[in-house]
Amino acid sequence: MPKPMSPIWHPFTQHALQHEMTKVVRADGAYLYTADGCRIVDAISSWWVVTHGHCHPHIVRAIQDQASKLNQVVFAGHTHDPAEEVAALLLKLAPQGLDYVFFSDSGSTSVEVALKMALGYWHNIGEQRIRIIVMQHSYHGDTVGAMSVGARGVFNASYGPLLFDVRSIPFPTKDREQATLDALESACRNEIPAAFIVEPLISGVGGMLMYPAWVLREMKRICEASDVLFIADEVMTGWGRTGTLFACEQANVTPDIVCYSKGITGGALPLAVTLCRADIFDAHYSKDRTRTFFHSSSYTANPVACAAAKANLDLWQDPEVRQRVASVAIMQEQAIEPFRADARFRNVRRLGTIAALDLITSDAGYLAEIAPKLQAFFRERNLLLRPLGNTIYVMPPYCVTAADLDEIYAGIREAAGVLA
């Protein structure tokens, strides 16, 4: 079996099945350009991070300007304007009732921070609450805490000894929503947990599984009734993906703790934040140094990344940007509608700018045998699509055109004809 020529070990990649990586040399808008001159349509926003388009000029200028003034400073004991501006804008845009912003550098770490905030809160107010409730099929990242609150399966089977135990409730499938709510209410009442963590409205890596806003609202109500902290993981669902800036808006709920990352810089640089209520901060606020919130990374609130985030947040205050999100949602619905009558697919669905459909195959799930075949098929047609097993999803940047979507869905239709 030939080994790869490069020494780089790529993420979520089985190198024995994919020997060569596609070398990308530049990007613009909804397109990537390869070393051999091909144009690739980025149908998944480069793993869900690019919002307004690659190399957006407003964000690029902000990065260039900040890099020439201050590129890094330890954030313990120091601050800087880009971080202060981002925090202020986030609290203005996020659901009302969140008061403090903690910076980190990825979705996984924002979840780690949220879990530590919740456990630290109960510890510091003198209550022994350590149980975390999670939802079936959930995925919250690949660090140890984030894996622990994700579904047990192929992603973390090798690392079982590292993971802490959690209580899982069923996913609220259509017509089975009450079973989920009953399970959550029972867990909150009988196990006295510290927190419930959930992906609002859609479980991403779990298969782009969607559920209605009223269920999210009821889950928040149940947690409130039992004084259980409600953590919303909006790492993927934030920044317009579900049709509103943040998914929780559709349920009119304010989480006690919320995680944002991915699109926070428009996809330009890594950054993440965890927002929380004032009382969670207050539980750590003390002259007793043992109550300090013990979390950091070397690049916490990196000034250049914060400058990119500030530029991105500026764009979100333009009504035309939000109108563009609505337009993409409409285009997605128009593009996916014909597939509802296509017998080769099932569960054709859309939420905001995210569309997904399941190709009918002999096996299903993330390890479905058709997945690498689909990925290779799309790669040959210059489409960046990474199916989740037999689930094909389209999550484009908001600069995508109807012609781009026609190209994407033509590729999906062709793949079904050749591979299904």
Q: Is 11 exposed, middle or buried (0-12, 13-18, 19+ CB in 10 A)?
A: exposed
Note the pLDDT tens digit of each residue in 228-270: 999 999 999 999 999 999 999 999 999 999 999 999 999 999 9
- Report the side by side order of strands in the sheet with 272-276: 100-104, 272-276, 257-260, 229-233, 195-198, 132-135, 167-169
User: What is the per-residue pLDDT for 5?
Assistant: 80
User: What is the per-residue pLDDT for 67?
Assistant: 98
Mean of the per-residue pLDDT values for the chain?
A: 96
Note the pLDDT tens digit of each residue in 371-389: 999 999 999 999 999 999 9
User: What is the per-residue pLDDT for 366?
Assistant: 87
For the cut 90, the answer to whether the pLDDT of residue 356 exceeds it is yes
Spell out the domains of the chain, with CATH numbers in brackets: 24-55+322-397+410-419 (3.90.1150.10), 59-316 (3.40.640.10)
Q: What is the mean pLDDT of residues 5-13?
A: 91
User: What is the per-residue pLDDT for 1?
Assistant: 64
For the cut 80, the answer to whether the pLDDT of residue 4 exceeds it is no
For the cut 90, the answer to whether the pLDDT of residue 126 exceeds it is yes
For the cut 80, the answer to whether the pLDDT of residue 317 exceeds it is yes
Token readout for 230 is 């409600």
Q: What is the mean pLDDT of residues 393-403?
A: 98
For the cut 90, the answer to whether the pLDDT of residue 208 exceeds it is yes
pLDDT band at 364 (very low <50, low <70, confident <90, very high): confident
What is the number of other CB atoms lying within 10 angstroms of the CB of residue 366?
16
For the cut 90, the answer to whether the pLDDT of residue 418 exceeds it is no
pTM exceeds 0.85 for this model: yes
Q: Which amino acid type is present at position 139?
A: Y
**Residue 169 phi, psi dihedral angles, 5° rounding:** -110, 155
pLDDT band at 276 (very low <50, low <70, confident <90, very high): very high
What is the number of other CB atoms lying within 10 angstroms of the CB of residue 49?
22
User: What is the per-residue pLDDT for 72?
Assistant: 98
For the ranges 6-20, 54-68, 106-120, 310-324, the lowest mean pLDDT is seen at 6-20
